Amino acid sequence: MRKVENNCISFDRNGKGKLTVDDLYNVVKCQCSVDCTKNDIRRLVADLPMDKNFKVSISDFCRTPILSEELFRKMDKNNDGMVSKGELKLAKKNLTMAQIDDLMKQIDENSDGKLTYQEMLKLVNSSDN
């Protein structure tokens, strides 16, 4: 998330700490290589405060957990209610398999090689602290 925040700050040409949905999409999708759509970003910021120009605070955006049940379901390609190493690799193309393995070891509580939504939520919540 720090990479997203740093890219958002550098993308903020006027220095006011706010970006549009289009700007946020460009940062997340193009600069950080996160597989998402503009509608995903719109849904993510829908409940965040916006100014009269529909700009969102970078700090509010970066504090918003990116994992949602809908996103989890999209990562769960075989619809078994869990995300495997392969499915995680498809979602995070910029990570190596070694990084995926390390991530799995950190959050796969029952060591079954798959992540539940609850296990992934713990990762998101722990990275906020």
pLDDT range class, residue 4, cuts 50, 70, 90: confident
pLDDT reported for residue 129: 47
Per-chain mean pLDDT for the chain = 85
pLDDT reported for residue 126: 57
User: Does domain 69-128 correspond to CATH entry 1.10.1200.10?
Assistant: no
Query: Do 2-63 and 69-128 come out as alike in CATH topology?
Result: yes
Name beta bridge partners: 83. 115
Average pLDDT of 85-101?
88
Contact call for residues 45 and 56 (beta carbons, < 8 A)? yes
pLDDT range class, residue 125, cuts 50, 70, 90: low
pLDDT digits (tens, 9 = 90+) for 56-74: 999 888 887 667 787 788 8
Instruction: Write the CA distances from 66 to 13, 28, 126, integer angstroms.
Output: 24, 11, 13
Domain range 2-63, CATH class: mainly alpha
pLDDT reported for residue 50: 94
Structural domain spans, the chain: 2-63, 69-128
Average pLDDT of 26-38?
82
27 secondary structure, DSSP code:
I
Contact call for residues 111 and 104 (beta carbons, < 8 A)? no
